[in-house]
């Protein structure tokens, strides 16, 4: 990681914006991530991405089996600009590909759907490890593949006639509760490493600075001449 480059580019934004980046990075986490499986309504997917940013998650994963992921800019309010959005659309079984990738990163696979042996949101144990929360389509829910592969099942308790929230509301409710628990549990190491923070900040700087590629080229020329 080129920390000098991060410091150099930081000089091209205001001190207030630089402090904002650092403050947000201090609260960012990869301990939790969400996975949207085959969501076909752009408004719901975009609203979920907005919640991911608002609650301090850095990564989101999108499985595109038969539906392409499209951002509704008015709903997302620019949230995806600050997130790492990983898309799965190149394999015959994109859901299995996503699950394998997340497991390789140490995540447990948690399906957010009522199921035999499921856990209420309030009782979910975050200390068991990094968690990838899967959300399914608005009509049919999570796929059979995810149900078969899931390590655990999580549900939001319901007390009315309607059996479920829509995807964006479910994501917001779950992330609000779990990130609150996360930040109030000193036994969980949920923060980004210094290297992760620097890598993400570099990406944010590149997206924020006009002609950042030319500025970076000039920086590298100066370094090479030393």
Residues at the binding site for S-adenosyl-L-methionine are: 112, 156
d(CA 203, CA 84): 10
Tokens of 97: 């590909």
d(CA 42, CA 73): 9
Write phi, then psi, for 91 (nearest 5 degrees): -110, 165
Is there a contact between 153 and 120 (Cβ–Cβ < 8 Å)? no
Q: Give just the sign of the alpha carbon dihedral 177, 118, 114, 59.
A: positive
Q: Which residues are annotated as a binding site?
A: 112, 156
Is there a contact between 207 and 81 (Cβ–Cβ < 8 Å)? yes
d(CA 6, CA 145): 41
């Amino acid at each position: 990681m080129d920390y000098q480059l991060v410091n150099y580019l930081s000089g091209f934004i205001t001190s207030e914006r630089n402090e904002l980046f650092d403050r947000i990075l201090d609260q960012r986490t990869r301990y939790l991530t969400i996975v949207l499986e085959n969501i076909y309504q752009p408004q719901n997917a975009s609203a979920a991405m907005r919640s991911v940013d608002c609650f301090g998650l850095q990564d989101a994963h999108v499985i595109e089996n038969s539906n392409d992921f499209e951002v509704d800019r008015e709903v997302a309010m620019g949230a995806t600009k600050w997130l790492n959005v990983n898309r799965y659309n190149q394999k015959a079984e994109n859901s299995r590909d996503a699950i394998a990738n997340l497991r390789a990163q140490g995540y447990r696979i948690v399906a957010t759907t009522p199921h035999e042996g499921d856990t209420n949101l309030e009782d979910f144990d975050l200390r068991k490890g990094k968690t990838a929360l899967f959300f399914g389509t608005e009509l049919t829910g999570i796929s059979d593949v995810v149900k078969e592969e899931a390590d655990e099942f999580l549900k939001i308790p319901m007390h009315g006639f309607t059996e479920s929230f829509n995807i964006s509301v479910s994501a917001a409710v779950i992330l609000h509760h779990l990130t609150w628990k996360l930040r109030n549990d000193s036994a969980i190491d949920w923060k980004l490493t210094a290297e992760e923070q620097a890598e993400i900040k570099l990406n944010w700087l590149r997206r924020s600075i006009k002609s950042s590629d030319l500025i970076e080229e000039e920086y590298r020329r100066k370094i090479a001449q030393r």
